[in-house]
Amino acid sequence: MGFLEEISKRRTFGIISHPDAGKTTLTEKLLLFGGAIQEAGAVKSNKIKKSATSDFMEIERQRGISVATSVLAFVYKNKKINILDTPGHKDFAEDTFRTLTAVDSVIVVIDVAKGVEEQTEKLVEVCRMRNIPMIVFINKLDREGKDAFDLLDEVEQKLGLRVTPLSIPIGMGYDFKGIYNIWEQNTQLFYDDQKHIIGKKVIFDSVEDPKLEAAIGTDLFTTLKEELELIDGVYPPFDRANYLNGKLQPVLFGSALNNFGVEELLNCFVEIAPEPLPKLSEERMISPYEKKFSGFVFKIHANMDPNHRDRLAFVKIVSGTFERNTPYLHVRNNKKLKFSSPNAFFAEKKKIIDVSFPGDIVGLHDTGNFKIGDTLTSGEKLNFKGIPSFSPEHFRYINNNDPMKAKQLTKGIDQLMDEGVAQLFILNLNGRKLIGTVGALQFEVIQYRLLNEYGAKCSFENLNVYKACWVEGNEKSTSFQEFKRIKQKFLANDKAGQLVFLSESAFSLQMVQEKYKEVQFHFTSEF
């Protein structure tokens, strides 16, 4: 198969949802329909149970699983599907944001009873900002939930999307009879005994089929016809160009647990989802069809075995082919590296691969060369944009509890920060190290990993910080100099050396913004 054909076959996407909406179940069912696994239950849930905040074994177990399920690839209808897994737990939201830089489209899963939830809002906002094409899957139709049209309204209003339903449920919960598939223009009825297997379908090709009325009853039949008319009148018709531009989001309904609507989702996905998209670097736009290789690191996973300290860096291939044992330029370090055993992913397994194409993810063994956001190329000096850090929510000083292990602690902190576990800030005033995280759980992970992987003991000390803002100012401006002098106590540098203002409250931030108009305060590290 030629290079062009290989690229056009790839579909790389992520599934996002609020925890418990059914992301894991849907992922598993997609693999099942894709023929990549034979039975349900093969892909373990990689969510950290809410109760497990102090259970380190649980954290370790989850880390192990999440390597295995980081990328799940399979072939369906001659398309190579790469699902990039995203952690569901909100404390790991930053991980999810980073993974979203490597997807070409997403599927958003929403629980029919709960509707649009907080985590969905945050993640969809990131996708919306980047115009990532989205398909919405409304799950758990076998349960009593909200009215389909109310949900479509909610998705439009809360998520700021413009939707068009491509299927519509017939009944719900106890009365759930199936779906009318607007995309394929047929009806598929639901029988409870299909649970957990890929059951035989009952399909009616026309909504006028009298057998359909007999099967679902006159009331539901009448409602269905009315609803289809309503959809015709109210919602815009599906338009692939608008979907690809992030201007229109198709919605499908189903029940992942019951294998219902999943095959329809997959069929629709392979037809409409984008192949690998061009990506912007600081220097220029890179097309996947360029012959020369380029890619970037969006995730780093440390080895759980303390005897093998190497890490796995996940690289999304943007252009050209990535080949084993070929030297590539690590742009930040200006160093050539070659990889003798790059991993590719298939279902939940990984294996050594000789060549990979745009859209694919390769896992590279790394002894500490990489950090998140690094670019690799065939030689050109490119830097891919778009993996910014956001302000952490929690801030704590990190103290060394074992003076004999100061070196190990520094190394451990450095490496964990490169992996993107948390952010490090160094206070200007006294050089103290401050760790910022999205969730409180990360502090436990850091403490545990520093001890187990680096032999370093640390403790944390709370610091009241409302937000970290990246600061930009003209060194020649007296106002900027005054700001730096007066607020020195609240200034720090991030790991890249950028100046950061640590505001104590929303009020104090507002005050400095008003007082120092020439200074710019940014809420992400990339501006």
- E strands of 112-182, at which residues? 134-139, 163-165, 167-170, 178-181
CB nearer to ligand G4P: give 108 or 387: 108
Tokens 């047929």 sit at which residue?
186
Q: Which of 10, 98, 140, 394 is in the footprint of ligand G4P by CB under 6 A?
A: 140
Which window, 18-26, 48-56, 65-73, 275-283, contacts ligand G4P (CB under 6 A)? 18-26
- For residues 448 and 470, give the distance between their C-alpha atoms in angstroms, rounded to a whole number: 29
Choose, by CB under 6 A, the member of 101, 105, 119, 139 that binds ligand G4P. 139
In sequence order, the β-bridge partners of residue 179 are 169, 188
Which H, E and C letters describe 351-378, residue by residue?
A: EECCEECCCCEEEEEECCCCCCCCEEEC
In the complex with ligand G4P, the residue whose CB is nearer, 117 or 156, is 117
Site for ligand G4P in 148-167 (CB under 6 A): none
Mention every residue, 6+ apart, whose C-beta is less than 8 A from residue 498. Answer: 470, 525
Count of residues of this chain found to bind ligand G4P when the rule CB under 6 A is applied: 19
Residue 320 in the binding site for ligand G4P (CB under 6 A): no
Mapping DSSP to helix (H, G, I), strand (E, B) and coil, where does residue 255 land?
Answer: strand
CB count in 10 Å sphere of residue 460: 17
452 in contact with ligand G4P (CB under 6 A): no
Number of other residues whose CB lies within 10 A of the CB of residue 341: 12
For tokens 């239950």, the residue is 41
Cα distance between residue 465 and residue 505, in whole Å: 7
Binding residue for ligand G4P (CB under 6 A) from 14, 22, 250, 274?
Answer: 22
Q: What are the φ and ψ backbone dihedral angles of 30, each rounded to 5 degrees?
A: -65, -40
**R_g of the chain, CA atoms, integer Å:** 25
Length, in residues, of the chain: 527
Q: Which residues contact 99 (CB under 8 A, 6 or more apart)?
A: 14, 84, 85, 86, 298, 299
Instruction: Judge contact between 133 and 274, C-beta under 8 A.
Output: yes
Distance CA 372, CA 356 (A): 20
From the list 85, 91, 142, 418, which residue makes contact with ligand G4P (rule: CB under 6 A)? 142
Identify which of residues 88 and 439 has a Cβ nearer to ligand G4P in the complex: 88
Determine if 184 is a binding residue for ligand G4P (CB under 6 A). Answer: no
Q: Is residue 70 a contact point for ligand G4P (CB under 6 A)?
A: no
Question: Is residue 29 at the binding interface for ligand G4P, with CB under 6 A as the rule?
Answer: no
Q: How far is the CB of 10 from ligand G4P (least distance, A)?
A: 24
Q: 43-78 b/e with 16+ CB inside 10 Å = b?
A: bbbbbbeeebeeeeeebebbbebbbbbbbbbbebee
In this chain, which of 19, 173, 217, 455 binds ligand G4P, going by CB under 6 A? Answer: 19
Least distance between ligand G4P and beta carbon 253 (Å): 10
Residue 378 binding ligand G4P, by CB under 6 A:
no
> Residue 5 and residue 9: Cα distance in Å, rounded?
6
Tokens of 115: 């509707």
User: Minimum Å distance from CB 11 to ligand G4P?
Assistant: 21
306-312 long-range contacts (CB < 8 A, ≥24 apart) are 306/452, 306/453, 309/367, 309/453, 310/365, 310/366, 310/367, 311/365, 311/366, 311/367, 311/368, 311/370, 311/415, 311/419, 312/67, 312/343, 312/363, 312/364, 312/365, 312/366
Nearer to ligand G4P, 248 or 265 (CB): 265
Q: From 17-25, 180-188, 236-244, 389-397, give the range in contact with ligand G4P by CB under 6 A.
A: 17-25
Closer residue to ligand G4P, CB minimum distance, 88 or 436: 88
**Rounded to 10 degrees, what is the CA torsion of 328, 330, 334, 338?**
-40
Q: Is 116 in the site for ligand G4P (CB under 6 A)?
A: no
Give strand pairing partners of 7: none
List the x/- string, 73-112, binding to ligand G4P by CB under 6 A.
---------------x------------------------
Does 25 sit near ligand G4P (CB under 6 A)?
A: yes
Enumerate residues 258-287 that contact ligand G4P by CB under 6 A.
258
* Residues from 30 through 69 that contact ligand G4P (CB under 6 A): 45, 47
Under rule CB under 6 A, residue 23 binds ligand G4P: yes
User: Which of 253, 516 has the CB closer to ligand G4P?
Assistant: 253
Q: With the C-alpha atoms ordered 139, 144, 147, 153, is the resulting torsion angle positive or negative?
A: negative
Stretch that binds ligand G4P, among 20-28, 93-101, 328-336, 500-508 (CB under 6 A): 20-28
Binding piece for ligand G4P, criterion CB under 6 A, among 19-27, 236-244, 333-341, 518-526: 19-27
Closer of 188 and 400 to ligand G4P (Cβ): 188
> In this chain, which of 7, 11, 12, 24 binds ligand G4P, going by CB under 6 A?
24
Stretch that binds ligand G4P, among 138-146, 320-328, 453-461, 467-475 (CB under 6 A): 138-146
User: Is the Cβ of residue 18 or residue 316 nearer to ligand G4P in the bound state?
Assistant: 18
Q: How far is the CB of 262 from ligand G4P (least distance, A)?
A: 9
Question: What phi and psi values does residue 421 have, to the nearest 5 degrees?
Answer: -65, -35
Binding mask 243-262 toward ligand G4P (x if CB under 6 A, else -) reads: ------------xxxx----
Residues that bind ligand G4P (CB under 6 A): 17, 19-25, 45, 47, 88, 139-140, 142-143, 255-258
